[in-house]
Amino acid sequence: MSDIAETRPGRYLFQKADICDAAVVRGLFEKYGIDTVCHFAAESHVDRSILKPDSFIQTNIIGTFNLLEAARARGKEFRLFHHISTDEVYGSLGPVGAFTEETPYRPNSPYSASKASSDHLVRAYHETYGLPTTLSNCSNNYGPYQFPEKLIPLVTLNALEEKPLPVYGDGKNVRDWLYVTDHCEAIRQIMEKGRRGETYNIGGHAEMENIVIVEMICDLVDEYAPSPKGDSRRRLISFVKDRPGHDRRYAIDFKKLHEELGWSPAESFASGLRKTVRWYLDHLPWSERIRSGEYQSWIKEQYGNR
């Protein structure tokens, strides 16, 4: 079976390829005359980066390097390389303050170190070769279709199934949360109007302690799918040993993006979380396919092994 899928004829083409394969990446840029890149591809799960960092170094650093080289090879025809990154490159904050674009990088996990490294490469390609680039560092995303390994879908599905809800440490680690469509809109605006060579922070204006999020999800699941015994899912919460290098707090100052391009998030955390929990409850077969491995077999069958 072909590894190319065209879903909306003439408008969208999906090609499964490994960005670690330089020759394949280069070939695709030439074949399709690619002049603009919005680079999302990454190994993204912090816990997995602690257990097995190798693939994070390969995909996040070497993969980004391959894409930059392929873009550079397009010469003057190349228009924009937008690199998606994370607030985790800045390290951890104390109880006050927020990351700005000027905050020094202090990554604490193999994941954030590999993303920081890719950010530096993007910056260097702009400075050294004049490649037109933009870079965005955003906070934790959430919303529909997020892989069930991430916090919000994981807690939603486990709460529904009355499974234990383990929370790291004291649960008071703080993250800023950004609804996925707000992130997409910010990226669109940066790509269209952002100054080339610049970095923009993207935040959701929604700083939350992990434990508060887990409790909010329990309450929403109770509301939509009451427990047979009628008691609160909060009883499923337990605290487990903290993970190594667990940053205490992230907060994003996105004044630059707001003042230069007029962007602010449209979704509040309460409304975004409600929509997201509802979505997962309404799409249980989607999550089940991924969790059971059926999705992975389908991907293999459709597109072959990488």
Ligand X SMILES: NC(=O)c1ccc[n+]([C@@H]2O[C@H](COP(=O)([O-])OP(=O)(O)OC[C@H]3O[C@@H](n4cnc5c(N)ncnc54)[C@H](O)[C@@H]3O)[C@@H](O)[C@H]2O)c1
Distance (Å) of CA 183 to CA 71, 141, 204, 263, 304:
24, 8, 8, 10, 31
Catalytically annotated residue among 90, 111, 142, 280: 111
119 carries an active-site annotation: no
Give whichever of 186 and 236 is closer to ligand X, judged by the CB atom.
Answer: 186
| 198-211 CB burial, b ≥16 within 10 A, e <16 | bbbbbbbbbbbbbb
What span, in angstroms and rounded, lies between the C-alpha atoms of 251 and 174? 8
Which tokens is 53 given?
A: 């960092």
Q: Give the nearest distance from C-beta 131 to ligand X in angstroms.
A: 18
If you write DSSP's letter for every residue of 271-304 in order, what string do you get?
Answer: HHHHHHHHHHHHTHHHHHHHHTTHHHHHHHHHH-
**Interaction site with ligand X (CB under 6 A):** 18-20, 40-44, 59, 63, 84, 86, 115, 138, 140-141, 147
Q: Give the nearest distance from C-beta 43 to ligand X in angstroms.
A: 6
Q: Give the nearest distance from C-beta 55 to ligand X in angstroms.
A: 7
Give whichever of 43 and 207 is closer to ligand X, judged by the CB atom.
Answer: 43
Q: Give the nearest distance from C-beta 64 to ligand X in angstroms.
A: 9
Q: Is the dihedral of CA 109, 114, 196, 190 positive or negative?
A: negative
Give whichever of 146 and 236 is closer to ligand X, judged by the CB atom.
Answer: 146
32 carries an active-site annotation: no
Give whichever of 75 and 301 is closer to ligand X, judged by the CB atom.
Answer: 301
Give yes or no for a contact between 216 and 62, defined as CB atoms under 8 angstroms apart: no
Give whichever of 21 and 35 is closer to ligand X, judged by the CB atom.
Answer: 21
288 carries an active-site annotation: no
Which tokens is 235 given?
A: 């009883």
Q: Give the nearest distance from C-beta 13 to ligand X in angstroms.
A: 15
Catalytically annotated residue among 87, 176, 215, 247: 87
Give yes or no for a contact between 172 and 198, defined as CB atoms under 8 angstroms apart: no
Residues taking part in catalysis: 87-88, 111
